[in-house]
Structure 1
């Protein structure tokens, strides 16, 4: 990374950090881009250059976390067994969040409280699930059907979402790893109920 890229990344991070601090203090809706720019000592146009919307200042934390996990999956050697590779995806999310635990919890609370962020976050999660399913299919050489790959990706996304919600509601930084392992164990043992037709079959009245 060259000097220009380093300076741009520092500015990008400064703007995001400043915005999160203001959102936490004043609330998302009450904080303006002008206030963020003034606190970060940049112009409003600089803020928009890095973040096209105010929502992107918050959602980028989730987007970066998920994309890092996906890139780490893509970088794993092909000979790594798929279950292990998929565990590495979830563990990457854990490492990223635990490495910045305090701020990540603030970001999560902002998202939960702000309805305008929910649609943005759903779009990010949807795109990530699709990319993850594509990578699962690629790593199996096409032996996995699209539906199996999509279900595997959906399971991973659900484990991450539910474990993060449980972690955010507590005080123990290590609780995220425990919540992830608990969720995975429930899936492995079949303790999570799945829809099934009754004794008379799906067409029974």
Structure 2
């Protein structure tokens, strides 16, 4: 009892912020889920922001605070999968050698995506047929690669090596993109982690032709 009594009381402001962030995350996911229900039922183009807001029980202005465009609604799940894995890397950046940490990042992204395969298939099908969705997805992938490169640069033994960090991040995002696209082509029947192991094996064994100095 004495040990418990000696523990500091939680900061009410921190508790409030935590609850607020949790509520915001739940609202964001609810809006995204309702949007996809309507996209599946009525089609992407026929679904309006007002319909999505009504289904989620929020006003259009609230919806726009979470999702400034309809395209951002489509890619929300993929974006969350990517950036949650990046946050995990930042939280445990020194816990493992960099190659192991990068492998964990890739595995975490694919693990979360595999929890909702129907959503991922729908995202990539829409991206394949809709230029604005495809552009939004490409922008998120570019941003993730840049943020990963910044994180990798700080973990390299040789400091200030942006080119090495950039190439490292490019390999990571290319593995994710290639694996997910192969999985989509299989109509969700392939195992993402098996595909990822195969892709990394090709890189590890030098079986991927790369440009070389003349």
TM superposition score category, shorter chain reference: 0.7 to 0.9
Q: Which residue of 1 aligns with 2:108?
A: 92
| Deviation of 1:26 (Å) | 2.6
The more displaced of 94-103 and 166-175 is 166-175
- Counterpart of 2:89 in structure 1 is 73
Which is bigger in relative contact order (C-alpha 8 A, separation at least 6)?
1
1:123 CA displacement:
1.4
1:119 is matched with 135
Is structure 2 residue 32 aligned with structure 1 residue 16? yes
Matches within 5 A, 1:100-111: 100-111=116-127
RMSD: 2.1
CA separation of 1:141 and 1:191: change in aligned 2, threshold 3 A = closer
Residues 28/190 of structure 1: CA separation in 2 closer, same or farther (3 Å cut)? same
Which residues of structure 1 form unaligned runs of 5+? Answer: none
Normalised TM-score (structure 2): 0.83
Q: CA deviation at 1:163?
A: 0.2
Tell whether the 8 Å contact from 1:33 to 1:54 is kept in structure 2 after alignment.
Answer: yes
Matches of 1:144 and 1:96, distance apart in 2? 32
Contact 1:15 1:36 (C-alpha < 8 Å) held by counterparts: yes
**Stretches of 4+ moved more than 6 A in 1?**
none
1:7-86 superposed matches below 5 A: 7-86=23-102
Moved more, 124-133 or 21-30: 21-30
The farther-off stretch of 153-162 and 119-128 is 119-128
- CA separation of 1:22 and 1:183: change in aligned 2, threshold 3 A: same
- 1:21-75 residue CA offsets vs partner (Å, 9 max, x unmatched): 2222333222211121222233222211221111111122222111111111112
**More off after superposition, 58-67 vs 155-164:** 58-67
Q: 2:188, 2:48 → 1: CA distance?
A: 33
Deviates more, 1:166-175 or 1:184-193: 166-175
Runs of at least 5 residues in structure 2 that lack an aligned partner in the other structure: 1-14
Task: Measure, in 1, the Cα distance between the counterparts of 2:59 and 2:188.
Answer: 39
Aligned mates of 2:97, 2:190 — CA distance in 1:
27
> Quick one: distance in 2 between partners of 1:96 and 1:173?
16
